[in-house]
Amino acid sequence: MDANELLSRYAAGETNFTAANLGRINLFGADLIGINLREANLQNANLILAFLNRANLVRANLIGSRLSGANLNQAALMGANLRDADLHGACLQRADIRSANLTLANLLDANLIEADLRNANLSGANLTGACLRGANLREEKRIYCAKLRGANLHKADMRGVNLAGADLARVDLSGANLSDATLREVDLSGANLAYANLTNVYLTEANLATVNLRGANLTNAKLERTNLAESEMTEVNLSGALLSDANLSKAEMSRGNLIGARLPRTDLSRANLREANLTDADLVDSYLARTDLTDANLTNAIFIRAELSSANLAGALMRGTVMPDGKVHDYD
Amino acid sequence: MEANSILDEVVQNLEQHENLTRMKKLIYCACKKAWENDTEILEQLRLKDLLKELIDLSPTIEHLTVALNSVVKQLNKQAEYSLVANGIISELAKLYPDTDESTLVKSNRLHSTVSTAYSVPQQPTAMPPELQLSEPKRHYDPFDLRLEIMKYTNPLLAKILVFSTVDRKLFEFGNPQDWVAMKTQELDDLLLRLFRACETITELEFQLNSTAKCLEDTSQFKQAASVIIRAMKPFYPALKAS
């Protein structure tokens, strides 16, 4: 079937094109609202700026298709194969994309607001600037969760998104907005979160080993029992963050803002906290073997029962600082 | 007098102008987003049609002033062209009710960095304090702005519209290179460039609407323009020319 035949049959009122063979078809800008293309072959089709709102594309073959600027709002794309598809600036608001294959797809600046992405495979996809507010990526069973391994989510809008348990290893989330997101138990090892907004985020028990958090904003974030060993956190903002029992060994945190951070029982061995601000921080029972606190601001910080004997405190500002033995430094 | 006969009178007056070709070049560039140097093409263009197009795109005399001055700002011969622009503005003011000479001068000073209505200084003149914007443009949250735009318009069309506006080169759907170039752009970077380039909401309105008019499938781009304007309006201070 060619484009003319499809368009004239659709214009005549026919909407059911289940399993049609439409490889390489050119439907640029076509109005096909509500069309049924279930299991159709649309490999390498040109669907740029097409209106496919509420279309049925369940299990359709859309490999390498061009869907730039296409309107797929509320479309059914369950199990569709969109590998290598170009969805640059496409609208997928409230689309059902469950279990679809989007590996290596281009979703630059795409609208994925409230899209259902459970069990979708987004490995290696480009989601730069995409908006995922209210999108569903929630894990239901261990195997039934969105796969984002190696995806590019630079500057993506993921505010309030639930990614609990997701595989985000080596993901680029630099400059992304993840405020209020749930990232409980996620694997973010080797991920790039530089300058990301992570305010109020839940990262409890997440794996953040060797992660890049340079300049990231983690104000009031929940980071209990996280593994942040060897992470890059220069100029990080952890004010008011909760880090009890976290592993911060060898973390690079110079010039960080840790005002009012709660760090009881954390492992800060060999961490670099030069010029960091730890005013009012709670470091009870923390482990600071060879921690570098040179020129740090330790005003009113509490080190009760902390292991501080091999830490470097040269030039540190100690006013009202409570030492491991309970002694309090003067304010002069 | 009805609008048509005033327009005819304006056309008559402007056609006497010694710089008719420059006048056409200026209006053509403001409306079509392209600089035309071909004298033959320029001769064939009717001044009345060009003026009509400019007026259609300019709901107020301020829009018109901004449009012409933004072209002048890009040119080498700024002094010469600002004289031409001022000639057009003071004639067309007749088509806008409630425009007296003083608002004209103010409006022109507010939007022009090169000249005032009735003098041609070689150096940009400092704005008198009472004519300065009452407050600077506000900072905005790029995520909130992008969300607001994505919710109500097509992100790709928004990008094409803004890209064509800030780069002053109209996107061609049939040109594969333009598609490749678009993929190297990010919507929020483009919006920031647009925000920086447009000093006032009036300028933003004119620039987006005139670009939309020049692109294929104008109605979709006009819709995108209206969404972007509505979303960005809160970041511009209200214009108060005391």
> Would you say residue B135 lies in a domain?
no
B105 and B158, same structural domain? no
Q: Final residue of a domain: which of B71, B86, B119?
A: B119
Q: Final residue of a domain: which of B85, B119, B153?
A: B119
Domain assignment of residue B19, given as a range? 3-119
Stated pTM of the model: 0.82
B118 has a pLDDT exceeding 80: no
How does pLDDT run across B56-74, given as a tens digit for each residue? 888 888 888 888 888 888 8
Total domain count for chain B?
2
CB contact under 8 A, B217 and A108: no
CB contact under 8 A, A68 and B156: yes
How does pLDDT run across B17-46, given as a tens digit for each residue? 888 888 889 998 888 888 888 888 888 889
Q: Under a CB-based contact definition with an 8 Å cutoff, are residues B149 and B158 in contact? A: yes
B174 and B96, same structural domain? no
Report the share of chain B in percent with pLDDT over 70. Answer: 81
- H helices of B73-200, where? 78-92, 101-111, 142-152, 155-166, 176-183, 187-197
B51 and B8, same structural domain? yes
CB pairs under 8 A between A and B: 58
A111: contact with B, CB 8 A cutoff: yes
Q: Under a CB-based contact definition with an 8 Å cutoff, are residues A164 and A144 in contact? A: no
Closest CB from B157, B186, B217 relative to A129: B186
B228 and B186, same structural domain? yes
CB contact under 8 A, A109 and B182: no
Using the CB atoms, write b or e for B204-241: b if 16+ within 10 Å: bbbbbbbbbbbbeeeebbbbbbbbbbebbeeebeeeeb
Predicted complex ipTM: 0.90
Judged by phi (left if over 0) then psi (alpha if -120 to 50, else beta), residue B124 lies in beta
Least Cα distance to A255 among A270, A233, A240 occurs for A233
> Would you say residue B194 lies in a domain?
yes
B9 and B113, same structural domain? yes
CB contact under 8 A, B147 and A108: no
B85 and B13, same structural domain? yes
User: What is the pLDDT, as a whole number, of residue B63?
Assistant: 85
A81: contact with B, CB 8 A cutoff: no
B157 and B50, same structural domain? no
B67 and B174, same structural domain? no
User: What is the pLDDT, as a whole number, of residue B75?
Assistant: 87
Look at B97 and A7; give whichever has higher pLDDT: A7
CB contact under 8 A, B159 and A49: no
A222: contact with B, CB 8 A cutoff: no
Q: What is the C-alpha R_g of chain B?
A: 18
Question: Mean pLDDT in runs of 10 for chain A (332 residues)?
Answer: 95 96 96 97 97 98 98 98 98 96 97 94 95 85 74 96 87 96 90 97 91 97 95 97 97 98 98 98 97 98 96 96 94 75
CB contact under 8 A, B143 and A159: yes
A30: contact with B, CB 8 A cutoff: no
B117 has a pLDDT exceeding 50: no
Kind plus residue range of the DSSP H or E element containing B4: helix B3-15
What's the per-residue H, E or C state across chain A?
Answer: CCHHHHHHHHHCCCCECCCCECCCCECCCCECCCCECCCCECCCCECCCCECCCCECCCCECCCCECCCCECCCCECCCCECCCCECCCCECCCCECCCCECCCCECCCCECCCCECCCCECCCCECCCCECCCCECCCCCCCCCCECCCCECCCCECCCCECCCCECCCCECCCCECCCCECCCCECCCCECCCCECCCCECCCCECCCCECCCCECCCCECCCCECCCCECCCCECCCCECCCCECCCCECCCCECCCCECCCCECCCCECCCCECCCCECCCCECCCCECCCCECCCCECCCCECCCCECCCCECCCCECCCCCECCCC
Q: Which residue in chain A has the smallest CA separation from B153?
A: A91
Q: How confident is the model at residue B111 (pLDDT cuts 50, 70, 90)?
A: very low
Q: Which residues of A touch B231 (CB under 8 A)?
A: none
Least Cα distance to B154 among A68, A20, A262, A219 occurs for A68
B183: contact with A, CB 8 A cutoff: yes
B63 and B9, same structural domain? yes
CA distance A156 to A176: 5
B163 and B108, same structural domain? no
CB contact under 8 A, B188 and A49: no
> Would you say residue B220 lies in a domain?
yes
CA distance B153 to chain A (A): 9
> Would you say residue B148 lies in a domain?
yes
B105 and B17, same structural domain? yes
Q: A238 vs A214, A276, B75, CA distance in Å? A: 11, 11, 50
> Would you say residue B50 lies in a domain?
yes
Closest CB from B143, B150, B159 relative to A177: B143
B3: contact with A, CB 8 A cutoff: no
CB contact under 8 A, A129 and B154: no
Mean per-residue pLDDT for B72-86? 86
Closest CB from A113, A155, A177 relative to B150: A113
How does pLDDT run across B202-240, given as a tens digit for each residue? 999 999 999 999 998 889 999 999 999 999 999 998 755
CB contact under 8 A, A89 and B143: no
> Would you say residue B189 lies in a domain?
yes
B105 and B162, same structural domain? no
CA distance A87 to chain B (A): 10
Q: Which residue in chain A has the smallest CA separation from B157?
A: A69
Q: Which residues of A touch B147 (CB under 8 A)?
A: 113, 131, 133, 157
> Would you say residue B223 lies in a domain?
yes
CA dihedral B49, B51, B56, B59 (to 10 degrees): -170
> Would you say residue B125 lies in a domain?
no
User: What is the pLDDT, as a whole number, of residue A140?
Assistant: 65
